Amino acid sequence: MSKLWGLYVNEMYKLIKKPLVIILIVLIFTSGLLFPALIKFAISFDSEPYIEDKNTIETQLQYYKDEKTKLSSELLAAIDNQDDEYYIEDLKMQIDELETYIFQSELFLELQLFDEPEHVMHDSFIPRALSSLNSLNTDIINLNKVPEEERDDNWAAELDQAGKGYAQLYDSIKNKDFTTYNNYQIEAISAFKSILSSYDAEIHEFSLKLLPVIDPTGGLNGEIDFEAANLVADYASLLKYELDNNVNIKYDMIYGDQSIVLLSEEQRLEKQEEYDILMYKIENKQVATSLPKDSTLISSLSVEFSNFFLSILIFFAAGSIVANEMTTGSIKTLIIAPVRRWKIFTSKFLTLLTLFLVASLVLHVATSLGNNIFFDAKHTAYLFVSDGKVVSIPGIFFGYFYLLADHTLLFVLMLLAFMLSTVSRHSAVGIAIPFALMMVTSWASMMLSSLPIAKARWMDFLYFYNTDLADRLFPMHKFFDLVTYIRISQNIPQNNLPSLSFSVLFVLVLCVCLFYIAFDSFTRRDIK
Amino acid sequence: MDVALKVDHVSKSFGKKKIIDDVSFELFCGEVFGFLGPNGAGKTTMIKMITGFLSVDQGTIEIDGFNHRSHYEKAMASIGAIVENPELYKDMSAYENLKMYARIHDNVDNSRINEVLDIVGMQDHSREKTRKYSLGMKQRVGLAMAILHRPKLLLLDEPTNGLDPAGIRELRDILKRMAHEENVAIMVSSHQLSEMQLMCDRVGVISYGKLLSVNTLKELTEMKVEESSLRLITPDVVTALSVLPDELKSKIISNTNEYIDFRISKDQINNFLRVLLNRDVTIHGIQSIESTLEDAFLSITGGGLRIE
């Protein structure tokens, strides 16, 4: 073993003595670290969103009022002149619209909403509350327009309810009180229960109860977008309903159809895991970590960018670790040494494995640091269910495991480079072929999936249908971007990939074959 | 004497071509063994089989009593070698190369590295990258690597390549000292007959993959040889070449404008000179041009092959 260790140390020493290896590792690190900085610099030229100030709103309000006076005069004249009824209706609509604007502008000024931060006016419950308030205001105006002879008890009850709702919503906006707003919504659902289906009512009710748990501020603290919180709450409610009733509810986004079928056992387990994890995230205030941020995209872009240098490094090392020694003749020093060839081979393989792990770690650390420094990004813990309990892997470790799983293809191609360079004893062959395969893989898989042919059984044996393992080994990674998953992934038809166990077995067999061919060639062939 | 290397009926083919054909010999501790043969005779192939570069098709090799196949690591632990040119890692210094080599041997420490650098006279350049080294310097470092772990058997393939005369002399002294004082068995393959003569205790002659003879130097120099090599010095080389009958022309090895080298039996010398004198070819002199060892070598190999 001591000789194997000595050989391994020697191989590592030879590797770090190669200037190109050092240059590529530095490039991986700097590109991972500085790519987010470049993006930050590029988006710094984006203009700030426009927020209306007090003077503008006052000017607008005056304009709306003047317009309303003008149109009101026109309306009176039109009625007097018994003009075309469509013209009169149009004028009334324009005046109603202006009244809405006037109401909104006055509310803005009254509650001094122009002083609020951008996220309060865009990403909290306030825009929804304002919209509801506006509707209620219109309802009240319309109710007040009802001729006295038509007013009855129902009218009085409706006006009373609208008035109470208005007061509740007004207070919630004025006091930035999400609880009041949410209670109003819950009461509204109860009031309308009679006209809602039990399915809708149950889902909405549970969703509204979840909202304050997800974010008690309703988006006011700027951490969770209120629309995203709604989406998450709705999805959790839908899952609960499906599990409680053992049904699978599917929406067709294109045609708007809804289908309800019984849950299969597999679907039930999958949905149960999703529900458990979602509830765990909600109850442990972790929803914020699962929402899309600039850094999510930047992080994956910087990994992609640095991956280019990583691939060159891995193929260069794997393609030359044996072939270069054969070409320069330095292999003689190793062959003469009192060690069996399998030990030399193993030391070289272990060196490549170390390089693969270390270079991936460098990439992970650099991109994590870069995203943390420039986008304040933090790692999200990975959650999964084991024996009915939610288990968490700390984000910093999970990020690395996920990256390694995402590099399955790179690992297979590294072995291919190693095998080709060992068999051909020419580093050019060992480097060029895997690199070309790397380049055409995404293109080939895209072309095949876009062809109007059914996926045949033999296609399961194409390597690129089996090397994309990261999301399949870590299925709950989809919850790292809940919004996108809920909005899009759910509605994408299931891709027709081979089963996970088939893919893992396929990759293992492929790796063993490549390893064995290289091993056999290295240990048995003469060195002339 | 202890047997350091035992080669027993070893054969090796590349495809259908037999490169080594049933070769057997032994190498004893404390001797320098010369492995003589023209290019392509199988010298390097034999060394590559002993050092593990090439597999052995038939026969067995034992090193220091260990079977080369069944106890590979123990057998190889006793070997130090330079095969063809010493190839070093160019991005590293001589010291780093030796340090790496030391990691895969037992009982080699830093002081031993410095010791071998002193032995081969490379201490002053040991920290320079080897890509800057001349061939001679590389040979010295190669020798340092070969002796680093104090091997019982040292195999050197053309070790004087690239060395200047002083270097060759130095190497010769080192090898002789190692053999005679440290009891190391040394096998040297070379086509430098003069070197062999000065360095070796025994010489094995190989040709077309067959080991033709193994003799001590004394036996070789005392060997009765049928033919000897002579140089005829004449200003009329062209005339001389044109007048010689075919059977005598076949005895010519080479010629310049000033002389003709030929290999001829003593009985034929009179006839050879008579033909030339009869045709009025001017002869300025005639001299023996080879050592006795080469005569013996050519006699053993049948004279059809020539080495320098």
pTM of the model: 0.81
For residues A25-32, average pLDDT: 93
- pLDDT digit string, tens, across residues B116-143: 999 988 999 999 999 989 888 898 899 9
For the four alpha carbons of A432, A438, A442 and A448, in that order, the dihedral sign comes to positive
The pLDDT of residue A492: 54
CB of A330 closer than 8 Å to CB of B88: yes
A412 occurs within a structural domain: yes
* Cα distance between residue A125 and residue A178, in whole Å: 7
Tokens 């291919």 — which residue? A416
Q: Which of B52, B101, B145 sits opposite A335 (nearest CB)?
A: B52
- pLDDT digit string, tens, across residues B280-291: 888 898 887 755
Q: Given CB atoms, is B53 within the 8 Å cutoff of chain A?
A: yes
- Is the pLDDT score of B77 beyond 50? yes
Q: Percentage of chain A with pLDDT > 90?
A: 44
Strand partners, B3: B28
* Cα distance between residue A396 and residue A374, in whole Å: 17
- In terms of residue numbers, what domain contains A13? 2-45+292-445+456-524
Backbone angles phi, psi at A259, to 5 degrees: -125, 145
- List, as ranges, residues 273-292 from B with C-beta within 8 Å of A: none
A76 occurs within a structural domain: no
Number of A:B CB contacts under 8 A?
79
**Total structural domains in chain A?**
1
Give the H/E segment covering residue B174. helix B165-182
Q: Which of A14, A19, A336 sits opposite B89 (nearest CB)?
A: A14
Three-state SS at A42:
helix
A320 occurs within a structural domain: yes
Residues in CB range of B307: below 8 A, 6 or more apart: B36, B37, B38, B191, B193, B294, B297
A79 occurs within a structural domain: no
Q: Given CB atoms, is A329 within the 8 Å cutoff of chain B?
A: yes
Residue B292 — pLDDT band, cuts 50, 70, 90?
low
ipTM: 0.79
Q: What is the DSSP annotation of B153-170?
A: EEEEESTTTT--HHHHHH
Q: Which of B14, B84, B104 sits opposite A339 (nearest CB)?
A: B104
A364 occurs within a structural domain: yes
Average pLDDT, rounded, for chain A? 88
A501 occurs within a structural domain: yes
For residue B72, the chain A residues in CB contact (below 8 A) are: 338, 340
The pLDDT of residue B306: 45
- Is the pLDDT score of A495 beyond 70? no
A109 occurs within a structural domain: no
The pLDDT of residue B36: 86
Residue A256 — pLDDT band, cuts 50, 70, 90?
low
Among A427-431, A436-440, B214-218, name the one with the lowest average pLDDT. B214-218
Nearest to A299 by CA among A180, A132, A477: A477
Q: Given CB atoms, is B135 within the 8 Å cutoff of chain A?
A: no
The pLDDT of residue B191: 74
Residues in CB range of A154: below 8 A, 6 or more apart: none
- Is the pLDDT score of B300 beyond 90? no
A161 occurs within a structural domain: no
- pLDDT digit string, tens, across residues B195-208: 788 888 898 988 88
- Compute CA A385 distance to the chain's CA centroid, rounded to the nearest angstrom: 20
- Is the pLDDT score of B156 beyond 80? yes
Cβ contact (<8 Å) for A13 and B100?
yes
* Cα distance between residue B31 and residue B299, in whole Å: 24
- pLDDT digit string, tens, across residues A273-331: 999 999 999 998 888 877 777 677 777 888 888 999 999 999 999 999 999 999 988 89
Burial class (CB in 10 A: 0-12, 13-18, 19+), B112: middle
- Is the pLDDT score of B220 beyond 80? no
Residue B307 — pLDDT band, cuts 50, 70, 90?
very low
